[in-house]
Amino acid sequence: MQNFADRLFILKRVDFIQAELEDLKEYKSLNFAQYNADRKLQRNLERIAENIANAIIDLCKIVLSNTTQAIPDTYRDIILKAGDLISMDHVHAGKIADIARLRNILAHQYLDIKWDALKFFIAEAHIIIDPFLSTIKDQYLME
């Protein structure tokens, strides 16, 4: 059972992720030429992706912090371990964990690599993240 502070933390992160996913929809028709030509657009899109990744990692850490299990060393492993605890399908947990990889890709300055990862993220984020958020809400916010 989560305490009130944990439930509030989870609720805030879920709401934040949902708001960021709504903002992400603005970029559905974006192409590489547009992305490459506009530094402000690059920063905005990359920031949305990074915000979502960080909030997912935060959610997974809070899931793990309420167990006796050690928190893994990598963000990917944190997500995978939390996926096990919330009984998430391993394939789906792997897709969520790939968001941690995207976070690392964004730290590098290779536009073409970032674009490929972001293009996939723009197209698939809702499909990957919405079920994860539903599971978190069902297990930690419903009473």
CATH of the domain at 83: 1.20.120.580
What is the number of alpha carbons within 13 Å of residue 90 lying toward its C-beta? 0
Q: In the structure encoding, which two tokens stand for residue 89, read together?
A: 């399908």
pLDDT at position 28, please? Answer: 96
What's the structural domain count of the chain?
1
H helix intervals, 25-140:
32-37, 39-65, 75-85, 90-106, 111-140
Q: What is d(CA 52, CA 96) in angstroms, rounded to the nearest whole number?
A: 11
Task: Indicate if the pLDDT at residue 141 is higher than 90.
Answer: no
Question: 107-135: per-residue pLDDT in tens?
Answer: 776 777 889 899 999 999 999 999 999 99
Boundaries of domain holding 135: 4-140
| Whether the Cβ atoms of residue 38 and residue 31 lie closer than 8 Å to each other | no
Q: What is d(CA 138, CA 143) in angstroms, rounded to the nearest whole number?
A: 9
pLDDT at position 66, please? Answer: 83
CB-based contacts of 67, cutoff 8 Å, min separation 6:
85
Task: Indicate if the pLDDT at residue 1 is higher than 60.
Answer: no
pLDDT at position 45, please? Answer: 96
Q: Phi and psi of 38, rounded to 5°?
A: -130, 100
* Band of residue 143 on the pLDDT scale cut at 50, 70, 90: low
**For the whole model, what pTM was predicted?**
0.91
| Whether the Cβ atoms of residue 81 and residue 72 lie closer than 8 Å to each other | yes
DSSP, residue by residue, 85-101: HTT--HHHHHHHHHHHH
* Band of residue 2 on the pLDDT scale cut at 50, 70, 90: low
Question: 72-97: per-residue pLDDT in tens?
Answer: 999 999 999 999 999 888 999 999 99
Give 54 or 107, the one with higher predicted confidence: 54
Question: 11-48: per-residue pLDDT in tens?
Answer: 999 999 999 999 999 999 999 999 999 999 999 999 99
Amino acid letter at 103? R
